[in-house]
Amino acid sequence: MKTVIRGVILKDYLTFKTLASKTFGVALALGSGIPIRFASHFDPAFKNETRRAECLAAACAVGVACTFSAPVGGVLFSIEVTTMYFSVRSYWRGFFAACCGAVTIRLLRGFVVQTEVTVNAFFQTSFAPDAFVVKEIPLFVVLGVICGALGALYISFYRTVVLFLRNNERAKALFQRQCFQLDRLPNIRTSCIQHHFFSAWSRTIFFRKGEYEKEGNPELKFGMNLKDFFTNCTFSEDPPSFLACNRENFDHWMDNRESVIALLVIFIIVHFVFSIVCMTLPVPSGVFMPIFVLGAAIGRLMGEIVAIALPSGVIEGLNIYPGVYAVVGAASFSASVTHTVSVSVMIFEITGQLHYILPVMLEENINRLNNNVHIQISVLLSNAVCAYMQPSFFDTIIKIKHLPFLPDIPPSNNL
């Protein structure tokens, strides 16, 4: 979409056949439980090139807004990801379309999901206003540095895997010539094959303990781990502490203090590797939700470690809430991989709270290269952590596929 909106014509890309194959492919891929997620779809474009670009930009905003019920963040995210120079007149169109899509998905969610008795955020949190203190900000800075470095490693590893599968003769013989050379409707047929194969695999790795046996449980998705990571309690605490989680709902994370850290580390490693592997499959998928969950796990791991190391809190009497670290980690890692700052707005709409706006904005600044010299010193740190190390995930895909596009102008060329 970034290439198309910037004026490049890709033959037979925005066609009804592609729309049909992507629609069925996304449904089958999501049903298999593998760690992917749709990011946005596209709508039929007008024949006028100018109108077509505006329509596609609005369609991207609608896709993100419907996925997370975040119209404001969806519009800002689509602007950052897809366009180099955004037309101001298109802003209200994208915002209006995103609001209509978000309202529609909220209403449909209330009718379909019986537990949705009111219109809430998709991952509603309930942190107290004093969920973090000023002395914790250095810890959030450290978390931002870690997420920025891991984001660069994520992009580098993805590029390595894709190039290996394309250039290695054995890999091409195994995956391309034998498995994926399907003559008709490759997206749909490949999705059917992957659905059966990866369903058993994903149930083993990504489902929570004992959850698959619950017949009809609607939370058989790897993304539902976000509810665990964002919860307002501590896995490493034991009752009768008021910070301890309810063992009936979080028994799969709370065997003992050591197992909490070990389980989170295993989850991060497995999700880090296999989410990249799954995104190399020839099925329609998105990158935002996998990196969002991965960032939440990284933040939760750091929060649990800090809670164990400082049981009385950074300040005596003010406890550590690992859920806040999970929220900040999700926004930070997502921002580092996509090179966007609008994730900080989306996280507030996704969780429905603004208490952690300061640490989140600090994290975004650490993960984003910003050319404005008036921004705080923390933004300068981002230059070394993420933006100077790797291009964004979307630019990496464009370069791997050798698609023509207009690159961003470096700051030095403006002099």
- Residue 94 bridge partners (DSSP): none
Q: How many residues does the chain have?
A: 415
Could you check whether the bond before residue 218 is cis, i.e. omega within 30 degrees of 0?
Answer: no
Residues 180, 84, single domain; the answer is: no
Cα separation, 155 vs 403, whole angstroms: 18
**Domain termination residue (choose one: 112, 147, 182):** 112
Q: In a structure prediction context, what are the per-residue pLDDT tens digits for the chain, which is 415 residues long?
A: 566 655 566 666 666 676 676 666 666 666 655 665 555 544 444 455 666 667 777 777 777 777 777 788 778 877 777 666 566 677 777 788 888 887 787 777 777 765 554 556 677 777 776 666 777 778 888 888 888 889 889 999 999 988 888 887 777 777 665 444 443 444 444 444 444 444 444 444 444 444 444 433 434 455 577 888 888 877 777 666 666 676 666 666 666 556 788 888 988 998 898 888 888 877 767 788 888 889 899 989 998 888 888 877 777 767 788 888 888 888 888 888 888 777 777 877 888 776 656 555 555 554 444 333 322 333 345 444 666 777 878 778 878 877 776 666 555 554 4
Cα separation, 287 vs 393, whole angstroms: 9
Is there a domain that residue 413 lies in?
no
Instruction: Count CB atoms within 10 A of the CB of residue 138.
Output: 11
Number of domains observed in the structure of the chain: 2
Is there a domain that residue 139 lies in?
yes
DSSP assignment of 56-123 equals HHHHHHHHHHHHHT-HHHHHHHHHHHH-SS--GGGHHHHHHHHHHHHHHHHHHHHHH-TT--S---TT
Q: Residue 182 belongs to a domain with what CATH number?
A: 1.10.3080.10
Residues 33, 148, single domain; the answer is: no
Residue 323, both tokens: 């859920």
Is there a domain that residue 414 lies in?
no
Range of the domain at 227: 134-210+220-401
Is there a domain that residue 215 lies in?
no
Is there a domain that residue 118 lies in?
no
Say what the pTM is: 0.74
Residues 190, 41, single domain; the answer is: no
Residues 300, 176, single domain; the answer is: yes
Residues 88, 139, single domain; the answer is: no
Cα separation, 129 vs 103, whole angstroms: 28
Residues 93, 200, single domain; the answer is: no
